[in-house]
A = this chain, B = another copy of it.
């Protein structure tokens, strides 16, 4: 026996439970206006998951609609073009970066869990806050994949406490089946061809 089998069972059970709750949730929303907040997931092993989410964040900024971004992985990623541009709109953008909390390389699991928890608590505040039309939870799938946060808690919050007119965008490969089940819009980015396999370095403006 390996660890993989129980994990698959867990996933199937969570997904089944999530499906039922989503159906009940949809019933509750019937007859509501078209101004519906979507739960959007970008997953898959290809490029463009975060870029496409940022495209939506910047669309909101263009419309003068406030947005919030919680970055669930290392901070270096956000010393970037997107961070610089987001910083030009402090009145529209709320940004929470996991930053120093995360380690990965040092394998300090307790510290990573604490950082993930802090990020998730902030994410909940931002999703509940009426001010923001969209909240991006960048790379949350990675944190869930590593069990740094309990999936059932995340699913329950998104189903029960996400305001009906709020968009929440979740990125990262290996999206959990339960999350896909409750999502409204799911896109898988698939790698067809990648230059870094042939030795080209990540490019400023393209990758970061």
Contacts and interface: CB of A to CB of B under 8 A. Distances in A.
B206 A40 contact: yes
Interface string A48-86: 101111111011111101000000000000001111111
Interface in A153-198: 167, 180, 183-195
A44 interface: yes
Given A185-B193, A185-B195, A192-B186, A58 B38 contact: no
A28 interface: no
A177 to B, nearest CB: 11
Interface string A12-56: 000000000000000000000011101011111011101111111
Contacts of A82: 55, 58-59, 62
A119 to B, nearest CB: 21
Contacts of A188: 46, 189-190, 192
A53 B53 CA distance: 11
A90 interface: no
Contacts of A52: 47-48, 51-52, 55, 189
A36 B186 CA distance: 32
A205 interface: yes
A208 interface: yes
Given A188-B190, A190-B187, A200-B34, A59 B195 contact: no
B200 A48 contact: no
Interface of A: 34-36, 38, 40-44, 46-48, 50-56, 58-63, 65, 80-86, 133-134, 167, 180, 183-195, 200-201, 203-206, 208
Given A34-B200, A55-B55, A60-B205, 7 more contacts: A36-B201, A53-B55, A56-B206, A59-B206, A62-B82, A63-B84, A190-B190
